[in-house]
């Protein structure tokens, strides 16, 4: 049994499994997340968010899997009675992209549903998240990296119902520099970062948390769709939600009805640990 302070991972994502009242904690769990060959993704389980069992394997690539490094930020969503993992993957001479995997149980094992990423093949992309709109249509919300565009973008792409391919060209929701709170990650180059979008509802309002660099470092900000739809337009809060070490957050509801924000802190490898804050 582990305390959360003993769990080293980045980009935490909680999937509450209601039938057994078990929390599944996923995240970037490889020992060296920046270089070297990736192993896969692990998960942990808890009934109280304090005491955790694990790690257990959720995904291990087979020999035919296209990526071999930088396995980042897995999310798990229940969709059409099955469980889907969205995560970022990278290979030499191939752009980073969001791949979608599938399992019959939140614990996995997860297997690819396509031979490659669902994000555009010539774009450097990461941190894809699933959003299902009011009409039941699935969307992939993802980041187009500053590595290619300097001013990082958050984009949306409508998917087929089986999540295997896009059915329309991606649309740009906004650029990182449009929010007043963001600061250049590399000031001499005016590089702005977009990381970790996560969509949620406040009543009828569609909102999003996402990460970038701010005055005091890696931060989480909040944006709101003025139309209530994915396409926006999106308006950004002037103030940040988390002003430092706001590593790649998401929001979930406990079995007692409380809303929590989780992210990793500090944003320094290998010190990252999952943090839970009441909203």
Q: Which residues sit opposite 174 in a β-bridge?
A: 154
Interatomic CA distance for residues 275 and 265, integer angstroms: 7
pLDDT at 57: 98
Question: Mean pLDDT over residues 235-259, rounded?
Answer: 95
Tell me if 59 sits within 8 A of 108, measured CB to CB: yes
For residue 145, what pLDDT band results from cuts at 50, 70 and 90? very high
- Which residue in this structure is represented by tokens 């999937």? 15
Q: Which pLDDT tens digit goes with each residue over 198-243?
A: 999 988 899 999 999 999 999 999 999 999 999 999 999 999 999 9
Question: Mean pLDDT over residues 9-14, rounded?
Answer: 97
Tell me if 114 sits within 8 A of 51, measured CB to CB: no
- At 30, list the tokens: 């490889």
Q: Which structural domain range is residue 240 located in?
A: 2-278
DSSP state of 68: -
Tell me if 88 sits within 8 A of 128, measured CB to CB: yes
- Which residue in this structure is represented by tokens 């941190």? 127
pLDDT at 189: 78
For residue 93, what pLDDT band results from cuts at 50, 70 and 90? very high
Tell me the percentage of the chain whose pLDDT exceeds 90. 93
Residue-averaged pLDDT of the chain: 96
| Structural domains in the chain (count) | 1
HSE-CB of 242 using CA atoms within 13 angstroms: 26
- Threshold 0.85, pTM exceeds: yes
3-state secondary structure of 176: helix
Q: Residue 135 to residues 140, 201, 275: CA-CA distances in angstroms?
A: 15, 15, 34
Q: Which pLDDT tens digit goes with each residue over 99-140?
A: 999 999 999 999 999 999 999 999 999 999 999 999 999 999
Question: Mean pLDDT over residues 95-100, rounded?
Answer: 98
Look up the CATH number of the domain holding residue 165: 2.115.10.20
Residue 254 has pLDDT above 90, yes or no: yes
């Amino acid at each position: 049994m582990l305390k959360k302070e003993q769990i080293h991972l980045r980009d935490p994502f909680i999937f509450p499994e209601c039938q057994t009242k078990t929390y599944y904690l996923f995240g970037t769990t490889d020992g060296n997340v920046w270089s070297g060959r990736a192993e896969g993704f692990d998960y942990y389980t808890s009934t109280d968010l304090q005491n955790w069992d694990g790690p257990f394997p959720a995904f291990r690539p087979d020999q035919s899997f296209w990526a071999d490094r930088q396995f980042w930020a897995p999310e798990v969503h229940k969709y059409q009675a099955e469980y889907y993992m969205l995560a970022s993957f990278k290979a030499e001479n191939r752009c980073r992209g969001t791949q979608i995997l599938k399992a019959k149980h939140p614990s996995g094992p997860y297997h690819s549903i396509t031979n490659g990423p669902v994000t555009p093949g010539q774009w450097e992309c990461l941190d894809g998240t699933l959003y299902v709109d009011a009409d039941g249509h699935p969307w992939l919300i993802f980041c187009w990296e500053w590595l290619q565009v300097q001013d990082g973008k958050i984009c949306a792409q409508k998917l087929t119902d089986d999540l295997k391919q896009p059915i329309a060209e991606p649309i740009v929701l906004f650029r990182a520099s449009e929010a007043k709170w963001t600061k250049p990650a590399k000031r001499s180059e005016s590089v702005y970062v977009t990381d970790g979008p996560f969509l949620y509802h406040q009543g009828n309002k569609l909102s999003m948390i996402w990460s970038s660099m701010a005055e005091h470092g890696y931060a989480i900000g909040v944006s709101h769709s003025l139309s209530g739809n994915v396409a926006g337009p999106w308006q950004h809060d002037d103030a940040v939600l988390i002003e430092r070490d706001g590593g790649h957050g998401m929001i979930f509801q406990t079995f007692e009805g409380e809303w929590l924000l989780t992210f990793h802190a500090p944003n320094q490898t290998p010190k990252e640990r999952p943090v839970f804050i009441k909203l």
